Every structure is written in C-alpha cells, then in structure tokens.
Structure 1
Amino acid sequence: MAAAKISPNQIKIGYFIQLPVNWLKHPFITNKFKIATLEQIAIIQSLALEFVYFFPEKSTILPETPASETDTNVLQQQAASLRSELEREKNTRIELAKEQRRQIQRTEKAFEQSMVQIRNIMAKIGSRPLQAMDEAREMIHQIADTIVNADALVLHLISQAGKDQENLYYHALNVSILSMMLAKNLSFSEEDIKLIGLGALFHDIGKLKIPTQVLRKTEALTTPELNLLKLHTKYGVELLKLTEAFPIHALDIVLQHHEMLDGSGYPSGLTANQIDKRAKVVAVVNEFDTLCHPQDQSKARSPHHAMSYLFKSMKGKLEQNYMAALIKMMGVYPPGTVVMLTDQRVGLVMSVNSEKILYPNVLIYDPHIPRLEAPVISLEEGKLAIDKVIKPSALPKAIYEYLNPRAQISYYVQNEQG
C-alpha cells in the first residue's frame, strides 16, 4: 500500500498515518492509526516531526470544512490532558511488557532445567534404571501438579536449537507437556495425567536402538528402513521393562502411540476400541509436534498450519474430539505462529493464556529495537487484535531473521501467576 509523506500541519481527522519515529518517542499505543480527534493532531504537531506517512487508501477523506473555532488555548489544554492519559496507558503497557519478558525468562530457565533433567535421565536409563525412573517420575509429577492445580495456564514458546539426539529430547518434553495439558482438558484423572506424562516422555526411547543414519535421513525411507524405524515402539517397551519400575499402563502408551483408529497404524494395526485411551492422547500430540519438526526441516509447518493440517487430514485416524480439544487448548494462534496485527505490525505469538486464547502475547518486529529487547505485548479485546496469520516463507528476510519463526519450537507451561 503506497504511502505519501506529508507535513504534520496537513493532517486532518480521518487520515490514516504512520509516525516515522521509535515507538518509545511518542505517547500513542501504536505508530499507525487513523486520526480521530483534533487533540491527536495537536499532539503529533508537538512532536517536532518533519513529516508523517499518509495512507490515502486507508483514510477517510472528509469534505473541506470551515476552520475550527475551537480556542487554541483550550485545544492545547485538551491535547495536554489526552497526552498525559495516553502516556499513562502506554507506561502501563510497557510495564506489562517488561513483566511478560521476565515471565518468559523464568519459563526459559525452568525449561532448561527440565532439559538438563531429561539428559541425565536418558544417560542413566541403561546403567542406573531405578534412579532414572525415580527422577523421571519426580519431574513429571512436578509439571503435572502445575497443570492439574492451576486455574489458568500460560503456554509459552521456547525457541531452542537442538542437534541430533538433542532433538529427540526436545520432542519428548514437548509431547509430554502438551499431552498432560490435553489430558486435563479432556477431564482425565490426575493419576492418568501423570501416566500420560511419563509415557509421553519415553514414547520414542526405542529410537535409541535405531541406527542414526536412518533417524537422520531426510529423503524418503526405503521399505526395509521404514520397517526398522517402526520397531522403535517395541524396542522402547523392551528397554523400559528392563527397569522393572515403569508403570504397565504407561508401557501401553510407548507401544501404541502410532496406532490409528482405522487400523492403519503400527506395530499391531489396532483399531479404535483396542487402543489405550491414554495412547490416543499422546498420538494426537505426537503427530502435531512431528508436523512442526519433521526430519526434513524444509517441510516443517508452522504451529497454526500444523494444527489445520492435523484436523483436516487425520480424520478417522485420530480421535476427533481429542484433536478438537488440542486446537481449543493451543488457541486459534498457537505459540510460534507469525501474525499481522490490526495496526499492520508483524509479530510472533509467544504465549497463550488458557482463559484468553484469542488474545495471546506477541513479540513485535521493530527494526529500531534489538530482538532481545523487542516488545512483547498482550492483546486485548476491543483494542489491538490479530488481523491474519502469515506464512513464515512470505516474510521479508529482515523480519524472518528477527522473529526466527523456524527455530526449534518447544513449549513449556506455567501457572498464570508465574
């Protein structure tokens, strides 16, 4: 959309304009907006700008009217009052954004602690299986307690880059956390939620016995390679049975998380009622996370598009009500989704509150602010909202690198209070 440069003295009510300065250098909530009052014009004219950007196509061009008879002093007083009000609101938003960033930092720290625990657990599973199981159970129970007892949960995006075997651990933690959240939303018992978390954490452990050249292969697997990969569910059960401490119902999750309702899954080709209900929960989440993180990263889908594909393409294979509950839980705009806001700014959804899924927290692209200091804003009903979803591939290079939407997407959960 073409924009023209005009003098601040040329601005009129109904004009859609953009301020050519850093967001922190003016009192308005956004740099782009339609002029609604004379007071807004007076504030802009007081900023000592050489020009503003004017968007004719988005403006309402009103017919010429006689010069306003509003007393200049009165107008200046009203403008000063409005400016103070806007600055208070903006400062409140800035403080909220700082708190959002602090919460993200706390969540990232908790996530990394869990990743350290998973690395230790997987390292001990062969040599000290009982200790590994005790540590795994303790970690899962702590996360499950947060999920079960919170009135509202905040699901955070954690952008981490993993390598080789590390990706298996990121995937395990993702599937475990999201599966427990989904189980809660489906009204599973606390005991089942913990079993689901434990089974999901180890659902792919059998892949440790699959040759790395098969696991890392990005092109289509040969039939023998695919058959070997499918053995990971049975290998996982064999490994976990050696611990003599892994719950039997959680073993069903490890064995059956690739079974499909129509009998097209593996290893046994089970159908609907033959599949453990807990395994069905993990199967839905596992498919979602795999769509976001396939072995060939060029085929990776954004969380929003992965959710859409899952619902459209897996009907009859995965539990329909489980998939619907996952979509409701993750929100219309899951963490990791690139969006355009109603003020035309582009951002990355960072977290979703379970009580306000239409109004997530969004990291905003601003070329004037370093990425690590980029504002994270909370969207509000009746104010700033999401206009549309953007495919990462459609982003200009600078915005893509700033938002980094193709980073390893991991999720972590916190009570709304942090």
Structure 2
Amino acid sequence: MVAPGLALIAVTYGLARFAYGLFLPEMRGAFDLSPSLLGAIGAGSYLAYSAAIIIALVYTSRTGPRRMAVAAGAAAVAGIAAVAAAPAAWALALGILVAGASTGLASPPMGEAVAISVGEEKQDRANALINSGTSVGVALSGPAALLLAGQWRLAWAAFALVGLAVLAWNAAVMPREAVADRGDQNGGSEEDGAGAGNGSGRTRLSFSYLMGAQVRPRSVPLFVAALGLGFASAVYWTFSRDLVVQAGDLGQAGSTLFWTVIGISGLAGGAAGDLVGRFGLTAVLRGALVSMAGSMALLAFAPGVLPLAYASAALFGSTYIVLTGVVLVWSVGVFREIPSAGLGAGFLMIAVGQAVGSPAAGVLAGMTSPTTAFFSFAGVAALTALVRPRPDLQGLQVGE
C-alpha cells in the first residue's frame, strides 16, 4: 500500500503542483508574466487544493479510498496535460488550478488506506513514507527539466503519461471500503469524546468533530501551525528557482540542479514518524520550523553562491517534508476516529496558508525585492515555531 500511495503523492504534489515553481522562469518568458501574476497563478493551485481537500475530507470517509484516489489521479493527468497544451496565460492558469486540485483529493484517501491496510504500530511510519512522495516527484522533475531543456511543454506531457500509469496502479490496488464501514462491520468502536456519534457507534464527520469544545484545545494548535507552515513555505515553492536565476544568475543546469536537491533532500522527511517517536512532537516541530526559516534566510542572503544556495535547497527540502509529516502524524493523533478527516483538515490549513502566501510573496517581491520577501517569510516560519502541541495526544510522544 505504501508504494502506490507514494507514487500518487509524487505525481500530484511533486509534479502536478510543485513543478510549476521549477518551470516558472520558462513560463514567465513564454507568456510574459509579471511576479504578481505568477504568484496569483500559484495561489490558484492552492485555492483549488483547499476546495478539493474539503470534498475529499467529506467523501473519503463515506466512499472509501479508491474512488477518491482515482479522482486525484485523473485530476492530475488532466491538469498536467492542460498545462502542456496551454495556448495562453489563462489556459496555463486553468491547468495549474486543476492540477492543484489533485493534491487535495489525494491526501485524505492515503490516510484512510493506511488506517485500513497497515497495523496501528506501523501507521505513523507508513504515512510519513507516503508523504515523502512529494520529494520523489520533485527530484524526478529536475532531471526531466535538464533532459528537455527549453522544452517545458514536452516535460509536462511526459509527466501526464507518468500520471496515467500511477492512476491505473492505484485504481487496481487501493481499498474500496472506508474505516467507518469496517468499524460498523465490527460492531462499532470506542470514542474518546472528540467525535460526534450517531447512536450506532460510528463517528460522524462534522464541524463539531473538528472544532468542538472537547477537541478544540488539541486541534487549534495543529491548525495554527499548519497555517503558518503553509504561508511561510509558499515563497520558496513559488519563487526560489526564479530567485537563483534572476538574482543569483544561475543558468539552466545550475538552477535545475538546485530544484533537484530540494527533492532529493526531502526523502529524509520519510523519517518524520520515527523522529516524533524518538524526540517528541514539539521538539521536531520547532526544530524543523527554525531550520526552514534558516533555509529561506540563507537563500535570500546568497542566491548566487552555489554552495550556500544548494545548502539552502537541501535544508528546505528536508525540513518541509519533515514538517508536513509532523502535521500528518499530529492530525491523525488528534482525530483517530476518522483518519482521512484529520489528515485532510491539517493539510487544508497548509493549503490555505499557501493560497494566501503565494500572492502575498509575489506582491511583496514586486513592491520591494525577492530578497525582502524571503527574509520576511523566514520570520513567519520562526514565529510559527512558538506553537506548542497539547501534551495529552493519545498514542503520541509530545515532549516539552
């Protein structure tokens, strides 16, 4: 179950969503786009993600993981193909929007599939490994950009073919039933008071389940941290390669290698579940946020110094995937009755932060400079590190 799930996350996140940042300099030239418009197009991807994850959050717990995983793969392929064939900026924006929606559809069914197919003691590790698929996709997109230098449309067409293969794989192996259906078949399950029952032992997804008085002390810190993570990271995903090209004067090969380093280093994020188990949720969360802030400040300080730029890429790639893994593990720990709901709600907050952060970064870069934008967003990441998870999360080592 981990392999097809990781592949779907690689296609939806690493290719359909984040490859926009990799090919942004070429798209800027092809369509003569301003920084604010580039940021707005990136924001469209995150807004589509936000809307799609709400749909997936509601329906995955009812229909099971397979249908939503297939929908995610189909949206990724359609969006990527639309970008490859875009005749104008509006068509490019539409393709990026559809491709971005695929990521929102993909996350909740992965959490549901793991809860069904993997033993409880191994679920945190499995979820973190699947989440690291983002890095696999980002890492693969870099060599594709080098092999097809100057041919970004061909690269996106190739991504669509990869997406088709992964779509077929997930359609064949993803479980059909939902966690709640399995609970019903077993006669219901115990509730810890965070959920809302329907009298049959089944926990219902509702606003009170996510933000009710009983769960709010545990869920609000999670949502604030996820929102801050999303907002702060948006500037790097959208404008980092553009910064090393425009301000750092890196060429096609050097800037593409920069992007590949982000992806390869992110593979370390697959250890997020193990890190939380060893050092505690709070320590990993704060350490990774401060490190991510450092990566942004480092790139702003020396975008044209190759060793420092690559060090920044390695630091950002590894800490971002660790942080999304932390949000994943934290979400499932807060909302254990409906894993897809917890994962979906946490990742929705990341997307909302990115939807706001991407255009904000574009406007700030246009009004001041890209360097100022990166330093400012590094400050947001550092401030987010002040958030502290509640110490009473079932099955999680929180720490001080």
TM-score range, shorter chain: under 0.3
- Pair member with larger Rg: 1
- Using the size of structure 1 for normalisation, the TM-score is 0.27
Which structure shows the bigger proportion of residues in strand conformation? 1
Which structure shows the bigger proportion of residues in helix conformation? 2
